[in-house]
Amino acid sequence: MRLTSAIAAAAAVLLIGACGNSGGSAETAAPAATGGATDSFPVSIEHKYGTTEVKAEPKRILVAGLTEQDSLLALGIVPVATTEWFGEYPGAIWPWAQDELGAAEKPVVLTNTDGYQFEKIAAQRPDLIIGLYSGITQADYDTLSKIAPTIAQPKGGIDWGISWQDNIRTVGKAVGRTAAAEKVVTDVEGKVAAAKAANPQFAGQTAVVAAQYEGYYVYGSQDPRGRLLTDLGFSLPPGLDELTGKEFGVSLSKERTDLLDVGAIVWLVDKYDTEKTKIQADPLYAKLKVKTEGRDIFLETGEELSGATSFISALSLPYLIDNLVPQLAAAADGDPATPVVRVTNPAPSAS
């Protein structure tokens, strides 16, 4: 389970990043938050495995999903622990969330490379466990629920498929800050709508986010990365959702490489130069207009822009609007003379 790779950024939890600081005790965990709840308790939240009741405002929240720390931080709450995905940032807090973290102590970082670290989770003494952007199984849920009330992925949706809006709204309900969550949604949706309006050329064009995994892996409409493109005005290629089915993406057969011939494509790759050269030299890909017209964008795993593209959170989206949208505009114009200017923000070492 290593989501750090381009694949990965992709195949959420088929491959999760094995790195991260797993140390720390409950006594040294990050403080819960500033301010307090504005809603009344208890609240009940439905999810894949039933309904969880949060009886009182939680003070020690543990993130078992991969992105919920951003939702909590956007609401002024620092979790006591996070679950590492990729990037190896201290506390699993990426740069776009540093302002919200402020001077607070960074969360303890857990991993689920070989499954959830139940003993370490229990050691944090959480009073709420949140795993919305996750693939929590029934067995995982049963064990986590014995440690603390646990909110798993949404009922009726796919694993790792929750939208950023539902993510922060559910978190807001669980922590008693529904109005604050709704304000964040309104503000961020406004930024996305403004970017869409400023780029009317996106409408009528197709686009995809892809990675190298068992060939070429493409994210569908039930994945946050696919939704980002449609929110900006693009469409996904016709027939893609029939291939993805109930999954967030699909590895394409050679016969369906045509689905990569889009108005703009965002590639998530492990090594920028190496994999860009390899992909563009593929005879099946090299003849497509997406390559010959300079419509492809390459983002290297571990760099901030690639991370933001995989997180798709209330905090990463403003960064994407400022840095990915200009690249999409340059790619979607179909003019090879218009350069896609690379944005590089390499992750610091785990030390």
One domain for residues 129 and 219: no
Q: What is the CATH number of the domain that holds 34?
A: 3.40.50.1980
- Measured between alpha carbons, how far is 119 from 54 in angstroms, rounded to an integer? 22
How far lies 235's CA from each of 166, 239, 332, in Å?
A: 22, 11, 12
Residue 13 has pLDDT above 60, yes or no: no
Which of the residue ranges 125-134, 201-210, 240-249, 316-325 would you say has the lowest mean pLDDT? Answer: 240-249
Higher pLDDT, 336 or 13: 336
137 with 204, same domain: the answer is no
Instruction: Give the per-residue pLDDT at 12.
Output: 38
What tens digit of pLDDT does each residue of 168-184 get? 999 999 999 999 999 99
- DSSP letter at 258 equals G
The angle that helices 325-332 and 316-323 make with each other, rounded to 10 degrees, is 40
Residues 162 and 31 in one domain: yes
Edge-first strand listing for the sheet containing 264-269: 249-252, 216-219, 207-212, 264-269, 296-300
What does the radius of gyration of the chain's CA atoms come to, in whole angstroms? 20
Domain check: are 162 and 232 in the same one? no
Model pLDDT, residue 32: 39
Residue 177's pLDDT is what?
98
From the list 91, 66, 61, the residue with the least C-alpha distance to 77 is: 61
With a cut of 70, say whether residue 262 has pLDDT above it: yes
Residue 225 placed within a domain: yes
DSSP E strands, the chain: 43-47, 50-54, 61-63, 81-83, 108-110, 128-130, 150-151, 207-212, 216-219, 249-252, 264-269, 296-300
**With contact defined as beta carbons under 8 Å apart, do 85 and 17 qualify?**
yes
**Out of 14-18, 227-231, 250-254, which region has the weakest mean confidence (pLDDT)?**
14-18
Global pTM reads: 0.88
Residue 224, domain extent: 199-332
DSSP state of 62: E
Instruction: Out of 130, 147, 178, pick the residue that ends a domain.
Output: 178
The per-residue pLDDT for range 315-344, each reduced to its tens digit, is 999 999 999 999 999 999 999 999 899 988
pLDDT, position 279: 95
The pLDDT, as a whole number, for residue 253 is 87
Per the structure, the count of domains in the chain is 2
> Do 217 and 267 belong to one domain?
yes
**Are both 42 and 112 inside the same structural domain?**
yes
User: Is 98 inside any structural domain?
Assistant: yes
pLDDT at 133: 98
Q: Could you give the 3-state DSSP secondary structure of residue 284?
A: helix
